[in-house]
Structure 1
């Protein structure tokens, strides 16, 4: 799957053909057609298609076989591994939701500890019909290779839903998955077009990298950050202290914001090890001009300690839960 895959819809035609880019591996399917492009296996229902794919997955060389779903016998332009294809068939109802839904965002407030007022809202993706949880959406997207489309739609929903709800000057923090952005110049153009369409001031936006997966290519992430910054948009490292991000990585990426993970905030008012880490992060960020944000504040004592050591922003259930209405 290449850089254009984020906009490619997946459809199960009924009836249709399973196109396998291999020859001579199957002999017993009725109506099978074989040509220079591979093998075409007809099916009449989603259940029949799934059974065929599962059978092919039992073959010794199944990991090397690629295939696609077609309406008629033709050349395939978007092919998938057999395992990904099987997952897409199994989770087709969720994939349809991802492809067809115009998602909404709800907002969680982020407070300035210096000014004791709302500084921003984090935008969180929601299905407007409440058919599926955000966690299940992203889990299925990861299994089926639909992360790019879902991530793109989530960014656009956050930008659209901001308009008319969040006043100018109050920022929006919007999540993104760096692994879905193959080429920042291409993959982010829809995001930048949405910013212009809804007349959003780019300075009011902050895109935060989500650490749901370990990122190996720091240079690629830095390139994404640079493209956002070039457009006048802020960038943030999310969940800092819980995953790949080290102090050295923080120096190299130089984000505008660093969101310190809840695991480092929980009972930080009582635990010396966490206090040492937080003070080190605060000192380095002040030196680099990076704004610190404490995530997951659930107790007044945590809030007071973060304010005491110079953390600038805070977010968590103690301050405000995600909701449809601004507070």
Structure 2
């Protein structure tokens, strides 16, 4: 089985009461005074409150990591899977988010994207949220926790699934969906994306209505891998976009190599662009570079009419931001119209 598929099935159970197991092949130091030694190097510590256990582990974390302990948690007197102390401590620290990734329901909030030439609706970007109103999440923090704990592949897959499902009954055919994804979670695109393509077929979604958007572009080191992922999406009839484009990716060589359909310019370049000559020069350079390659340009974070007017004037194809529309569970039409 491909390693990426295995990572998507990573699991971790947390028990309100149970047993903590600690193992070290060489260290003879007792990790906790209450722990009971079972054999030469294994210790078990019963606990009755997982929050208290987590606090105790956090306090002893440096020593456990430094000495090279491995840890396991179980609701019986037999240990489960062992993890390195550092990995285990991260999982305990972010257990609420891990449980949400594993068991919680997600929804997509939809933010409109407008075609600037006609001031018409072009697409919605799908933004991940918890379906449970009592479990409000910051998507950035959720993905950070997932990366630290090894659950980023599972979360990324669930986010793609949720985004595709959000079209059903909400978005008309012909209106595109922008769906974020992390290339680092897709180890082998031929295998790792089968689940996503199955969801597309299941709901009868036209692949041409989907735009898969690479996020955290500036952190991507393996360009060849990213190219292979994008090629698989495009082979299936879908569009691809690069997010948060900055000077590092706004080069003819890079865009020519990756051949995205759309580049999204980060909001930091859009805010105040109507009155900042440096930002204006940058935007003109990106538009020129993209234009030579037949790539469309989308401006993110438009919040003022002056920014919108300037972007349209210099040839930006699409716009997104609070001036145009905020994310909503039920998709809304753009607040700006041709009239």
Same fold per superposition (TM over 0.5): yes
Superposed, which structure 2 residues align to 1:1-327 within 5 Å? 2-3=3-4, 4-13=6-15, 14-20=17-23, 22-27=25-30, 30-34=35-39, 39=42, 41-45=44-48, 46-47=50-51, 49-50=53-54, 53-54=57-58, 57-59=61-63, 62=66, 64-71=68-75, 79-130=82-133, 131-135=135-139, 136-211=141-216, 214-241=219-246, 245-247=249-251, 248-326=253-331, 327=333
Q: What is the number of equivalent residue pairs in this alignment?
A: 323
| Larger CA deviation: 39-48 vs 123-132 | 39-48
Question: Structure 2 length normalisation: TM-score?
Answer: 0.85
Distance change (3 Å), C-alpha of 1:227 and 1:32 = farther
RMSD: 2.6
Question: Residue 337 of structure 2 corresponds to which residue in structure 1?
Answer: none
CA contact (8 A) 1:56 1:62 kept: no
Structure 1 residue runs without a partner (length 5+): none
CA contact (8 A) 2:64 2:85 kept: no
Structure 2 residue runs without a partner (length 5+): 334-339
Distance change (3 Å), C-alpha of 1:160 and 1:19 = farther
Distance change (3 Å), C-alpha of 1:11 and 1:282 = same
Distance change (3 Å), C-alpha of 1:184 and 1:23 = farther
Per-residue CA shift, 1:96-136, capped at 9, x if unaligned?
A: 12211120011101111122210100001111222122344
CA contact (8 A) 1:18 1:49 kept: no
State the alpha-carbon separation in 1 of the partners of residues 137 and 204 from structure 2: 30
CA contact (8 A) 1:109 1:122 kept: yes
Q: Secondary structure of 2:249's match?
A: coil
